[in-house]
Structure 1
Amino acid sequence: MSISTALRRLLPSFLGGKRPPTVAVLRLEGVIGAMGGLRQGLTIAGTAGLIDRAFRVKPLSAVALVINSPGGAATQSALIHERIRLLAEEKKVPVYAFCEDVAASGGYMLALAADRIIAHPTSIVGSIGVISGGFGFDKAINKLGIERRIYTAGANKHRLDPFLPENPDDIVHLKSLQADIHTIFKDMVTGRRGLRLKQPAGDLFTGDVWTGRRALELGLIDGLGEIRSTLKAELGEKVRLVPIAPKKRMFGLGRLLTRQGGLAGEALSTVEARGLWSRFGL
């Protein structure tokens, strides 16, 4: 250890004071899952390094997650959640989640990684359910005189093909997958929230969303507020917030044209993202 480092560590004690509490602040914003074009969705690959950096801040009093997400891919949501919980338990550091505009579906799953969840009274919270969507083009290609040709090894490789008529057996299979994922989500909520939940599970796991004020009454969150006032009230006026931000990247037109379908991929990912946000009036 260098002399300058030692002096910096000893200075607070010489002055008769204590170091202010330090909170690493990690923003988790956007649709969860891989996106096309320049639009970066939240994935474990993209956030793991940031999560690790947040828990390496020293001295560390807590980690604060600032969440603004309408959800997305269930697996990516769970993987990010699990990485945060793993480090929180390993480092024995409390985690706060602060919900902004929306923490719904996978966004709420991210919030469940926290020991305390805080939302603004107007935040949209919940959507504890599973959804799948798509389009059917079989009638359209029939009108155009287009013949669909598909060959598989495995009878069910063409399930839910949008260019073939919908098969009732495929719907049953899809719903069974959704039910499995929904059960995992429900178990996560009950495991993390426990006795704090104030309504029967059947009322909470319908896929509905609520304002922050109503979510507090239901026990889905622990309080109302925003990050600075809440942390000052709980950790002291001198609490120090340390933002954990990703490195900025520069993209040229050539890079855009070669990424996941180029301009077409960018347009499609924008439509997909807007569709998720618009479900919550955003």
Structure 2
Amino acid sequence: MSDEQQRGGNDSGSQAGDDFPEKGSGDRWTDGPEVAQPTQQRPLPGAESDDAETLRERQRLAQLEMMDRWVGGVLTEQRRTRRWKLFFRLMILVIVLVSVTTTVYRVFLAEPASSLPSQRHLALVEVHGVIASDAPTNAERVIKGINRAWSSESAVAVVLHIDSPGGSPVQSQRIYSEIMRLREQGDKPIIAVIEDIGASGAYYIASAADDIVASPVSLVGSIGVIYAGFGFQEAIDQLGIERRVVTAGENKAFLDPFQPLDDDIASFWQTVLTQTHEQFIDDVQAGRGDRLSDSPELFSGLIWSGEQALELGLVDQLASLEQVARDQVGKAEWQNYTPRLDPFERLTRRFTQTAAELVGLRNTHSPLHFKAQ
């Protein structure tokens, strides 16, 4: 072979080597594992007649729909979480407000016994609404106010500010007895001032005072005892209802409204009412003394106006609270000694009383009432 042919052969080899470098020569295009060519392309979802662009669009819409559902679920969960967070925050806020309100009330609004006025004044105790153990006007609260007013050295008189139709005989008698005890000490006068009504158990309380003042149009009196109920025995017979009562003691259920009230039971119950009425009369006479008239209707349960009550000796003067204050201290001012009700207790009492009235229950535990009807 000639030198020229050898050079030609070498040139051909060099050109081939340049076009196809050997493996391991460091070329990034040829080094690395070999990848097999796909034999068949995966079909895109859609109809066989759809072209590639349509299939890609459908796939994109499917992805967007799935993304929308996911985003919607995330937003729903976030809204639910925010609602619970808001609920718990409101609960915490309510608890904080209740605590702050209670603290402010007890520190600034509830008047302690030591914060008594030093100037001469009337010491007022309110007897408002129905008198009952589970009502704001109960014996414990009223007696506490009376004792606070009585112990105040600057109080020239204790005033029972009455606006009540009466109520429980027991609660009324407890207040009456406490007023009579203080009255016998003779330290300061006790005056009962009747506003719109001072009847039955409320007048029972007023009769223990040294003097009773009323407006000319106030309702005063109703010195009597009442029991009221219903008889449903004929109604349940017509409805075909059987009443089942099991007692130990033959007369234990004698006031059952679903059983007839026979003559013997009615006579017995009348003796109970009469005896209670006599106690009422005796206490009123002990409190009022000779000021009462001898009218046969005085203790019949009738209720009179203030002017009529003055003629019958049930009241001593026709005047107002302002006039009493001017007569006693020279100005129409007074200090309220009635113990304050806790706001939550007052709310609870109001709810309980309303619920009891809705279901037809009485607002006192005793079936007897010193109450104007």
Normalising TM by the smaller chain, what interval? 0.7 to 0.9
Contact 2:142–2:338 (CA under 8 A) maintained in structure 1: no
Counterpart residue identity of residue 344, structure 2: F
Structure 1 residue 196, shift from structure 2 partner: 1.0
- Give 1:176's aligned residue: 271
Deviation of 1:230 (Å): 2.3
Alignment partners' CA distance in 2, 1:92 and 1:116: 15
Indicate the SS of the match to 1:203: coil
Q: 1: distance between equivalents of 2:255 and 2:144? A: 36
Count of aligned pairs: 251
Distance 1:269 1:243 in 2: 34
Among 35, 45, 53, which residue is 2:140 paired with?
Answer: 45
Matched, 1:88 2:183: yes
Provide the C-alpha distance between the structure 2 equivalents of 1:167 and 1:126, rounded to a whole number of angstroms: 32
Map of 1:60 onto structure 2:
155
How far apart, in 2, do the equivalents of 1:156 and 1:107 lie? 32
CA shift for structure 1 position 67: 0.4
1:136 aligns with one of 231, 234, 244: 231
Distance 1:26 1:256 in 2: 20
Q: Which amino acid aligns with 1:149?
A: R
Of 41-50 and 121-130, more deviation after overlay is shown by 41-50
Paired position in structure 2 for 1:21:
120
Which residue number corresponds to residue 300 of structure 2? Answer: 206
Aligned to 2:196: 101
Per-residue CA shift, 1:128-158, capped at 9, x if unaligned?
1111101111122222221111122112111
Helix, strand or coil for the counterpart of 1:162?
A: coil
Instruction: Write out per-residue CA displacement over residues 152-191 of structure 1, whole angstroms, 9 at most, x where no aligned residue.
Output: 2112111121111122111111110111011111111221
Match of 1:223 in 2: 317
Residue identity in the other structure for 2:126 = R
Give the gaps of 5 or more residues in structure 1.
1-18
Aligned to 2:130: 31
Separation in structure 2 between the aligned mates of residue 216 and residue 74 of structure 1, nearest angstrom: 24
Check 1:128–1:256 CA distance in 2 against 1; reply closer, same or farther (3 A cut).
Answer: closer
2:168 to 73, 81, 85: 73
Change over 3 Å in CA distance of 1:279–1:181 after alignment to 2: closer
Match of residue 264 from structure 1: 355
Alignment TM-score, normalising by the size of structure 1 = 0.79
Assess, with a 3 A threshold, how the Cα gap between structure 1 residues 269 and 49 changes in structure 2: closer, same or farther.
farther
TM-score (norm: length of structure 2): 0.61
CA separation in 2, counterparts of 1:45 and 1:142?
45
Q: What letter matches 2:308 in structure 1?
A: R
Amino acid at match of 1:32: I
